Amino acid sequence: MAHARISANLPPDVDPTKARIAFGRRALPKLQEELHSPELLTQQRALMALCDLVHDPENVYQAIEIGFLDNLKTLLLHHDSTVRQKTTETLCIMAMHNVGRQGLIQNGVISALTELLDDPVDICRKNTHQIFEMMAKLHEGAVDILHAGLIPLLVFKLETEPDEIQELILDTLSNSLRVEASEALATGAVTILKEKLTHSSVAIRSKAAWVLLEIGTHPEGKSVLCEEVTPVLVSLLEDSDPQVQASAAGALMFATVKPQGRFSALAAEAIPPLLKLVAEETSKARLSAIKTLTMLAELPEGRKTLLDHIDTFQQCLDDPCETVKRAAKIAISVIKWKP
Amino acid sequence: MLPARELPAVPAVPYSYCSRPRALPARPKYRALPGAAELEKEPVRYANLMYDRRVVRGNTYALQVTPVSTQPNPFEIQKQREARKRALARKRAKEQLQPRTPDPVEGREHVHVQTELYLEEISDRIIEVDTECQTDAFLDRPPTPLFIPAKTGKDVATQIEEGELFDFDVEVKPILEVLVGKTVEQALLEVMEEEELAQLWAHQRAYAELRNAELAEVQRLEEQDRRYREEKERRKLQHMQMLQKQKETTEKIAARAFAQRYLADLIPSVFNNLREGGFFYDPIERDIETEFLPWLMTEVEETLERKVLGRTMLDSLICTVVEKRLDAFSHQPLSDQTEAPTEEPRSTDAAPQVAGETDTADRSVAEKEETDEPVVEEQPSRRISFQLEEPDQAGTEDLEPE
């Protein structure tokens, strides 16, 4: 029988999963009140709406001004997984904007996120790691992550998490270890990273090599690198993926700054693959390879071997990139140096 | 006919002017600043006469000539005065024609009074009132209640067969085109965004690589510098040590030379001292000195003592003999004859004894060279004395047990 009600469904442009958004400036305060409501459905709907609104940077700014982050921090520990997931997603989107990042740092959200590292739901953890990765790109964010003592936890997680989360963790580690590496070395990160260097996934290998590079920028990291990792890195130089080659060459570059590293690299016969990398015109690893060979040329044996290959460096002098030219010039001068 | 003016072939007398003719500079557009006029001496620009505003142009026949003197004529002043008077008179006449309130009667006064229903305060100041208004903050609009209109009208049914209204394939085309186009456009946008992101990442990565390369270079140079410095330090240390050793060696050599020289005559002096101290001795000499000579001396002493003893004994004997003889001689001379033969065997007994004694004494004397001759002489004298004393001996022997 026909009804006056045209259809049992609500009009099609109303999304039942989202709360209704008030007009203009009133939208976010209203959502904040809804977040406080005791009913689960209201909270979820408010979070969905918030998640969509936060894509706009102006809304991010307004949200932080109103003080949304404290609410979100409390909601991180909610028992319902959808709430947690949406909260982490919102924070992730906020972290993509600079205003959001600053707000996250000031409100100390990172320490609150530490609890979520052991969350049973995959997507929550993935979002959490994405937030960490974003934050680590900022210097203050990296410092915050170090202060929150996250590095040992992250290193530990490297072994248990699935691959995509591992990539995120490796990115976070590489960015935060640029600041300071002592904590990571204390937890034996180098051993774990050495395993990752032989992982099947290309991305993980290259990122692990990048983390080792960042560790190598610090003096204590260099000694650890020299002892253990140099042979593996040399074997990675011949890997098929240019990204991996570039990262491995970079890590070797820092490992060979110290004399022990140079000796171990020479012992592992690093010179031929490095020369191959230098000879390739379009290789990303060219600069790092030239630099590594420069370091190796400071040793007498290295210098002898490289004296035969000076023409490879001469070719590099024609590279369009200014730094490569300079590096090649420095390399040639070091090779030709007589005591 | 005008008197012919004398045109001088050569102007002997130049014109005299109150002010010499000069080209006038251009009139500046803007007034010069009051203080700046003397400071700047710009090159004088002469203007074109044709464009000078000060030159009179146009018809000069009917010009309005400015009066020579600026002071007004008395005639004109009078005219102006009269015009003013006339205007004043006109105004006064106009005023008088207007109707007016008659003047107040004696003892009364005209007063302005408001006669409206509501009195009004008349003042210079206008009454102002400030009012504000503000829209209310948005109230939450309550959710729209579900409106289900009541049913009205008659129910009628109809049915539309397929193909009657429209041809789907034809109609759907534009809609589809729009849909697909929009989707594709959206997809393209997203792909471009991703590409841009990837470019940004690549850019960042390249920058990171450059930065790392520079950092590595810095560290390498630091390392090199450190090595050179250490090497220099080590070499300096080595050099210092070498110098130190050299110094020590020279000192040692000097000390050694000095010590050698100092001790060069140590051995001779030592030997001298020892020799003087009597540590080097000929053993035989020593032997002789230490043993033989004392022995000799003791023997000599003994011999001498014996001799002395003998002499003392002899002396005592002589003494006793003499005393006895004295006694004897003082007694009777008979006893001399009887005692003489008894004393002869005794003297013969005493003689070998004495001879034995003297033989031993002779033997000892014969050994030693040092026996004195008086001793030898004394022996025979003693023998003699002993023989003489034979009788006395008997007497002494008799006396002795007494």
Residue A83 in any domain: the answer is yes
> Mapping DSSP to helix (H, G, I), strand (E, B) and coil, where does residue B46 land?
strand
B371: confidence class by pLDDT, cuts 50, 70, 90: very low
Query: What is the per-residue pLDDT across A248-270, written as a single tens digit (0 to 9) for each?
Result: 888 888 888 888 888 888 888 88
Tokens coding A336? 């030709």
C-alpha–C-alpha distance, residues A306 and A13, integer Å:
71
ipTM of the complex: 0.75
Q: Shortest CB distance from A4 goes to which of B143, B151, B213?
A: B151
Does B216 contact A284 at a Cβ distance shorter than 8 Å?
no
What single-letter DSSP state applies at residue A250?
H
Query: What is the per-residue pLDDT across B83-135, written as a single tens digit (0 to 9) for each?
Result: 999 999 999 998 888 887 888 888 888 888 888 899 888 788 888 899 998 88
Residue A262 in any domain: the answer is no
What's the domain range around A109? Answer: 26-116
Residue A169 in any domain: the answer is no
Percent of chain A with pLDDT over 90: 16
B338: confidence class by pLDDT, cuts 50, 70, 90: low
The residue type of B253 is: I
The domain spanning residue A62 has which CATH number? 1.25.10.10
Residue A63 in any domain: the answer is yes
Query: What is the per-residue pLDDT across A132-159, written as a single tens digit (0 to 9) for each?
Result: 999 998 888 888 888 888 888 888 888 8
Of A267, A179, A194, the residue nearest A224 (C-alpha): A194
A284 touches chain B (CB under 8 A): yes
Residue A44 in any domain: the answer is yes
Residue A188 in any domain: the answer is no
Contact A316, A328 (CB under 8 A): yes
Tokens coding B138? 């948005």
Q: Give this prediction's pTM.
A: 0.54
Tokens coding B286? 């020593």
Q: Shortest CB distance from A250 goes to which of B143, B209, B217?
A: B209
Residue A333 in any domain: the answer is no
Burial class (CB in 10 A: 0-12, 13-18, 19+), B343: buried
Residues of chain B positioned with their CB less than 8 A from the CB of A251:
none
Number of domains in chain A: 1
Residue A14 in any domain: the answer is no
User: Which residue out of B197, B210, B223, B228 would a mutagenesis test of the A interface target, given it has the greatest number of A Cβ atoms within 10 Å?
Assistant: B223
Of A118, A109, A119, the residue nearest A85 (C-alpha): A119
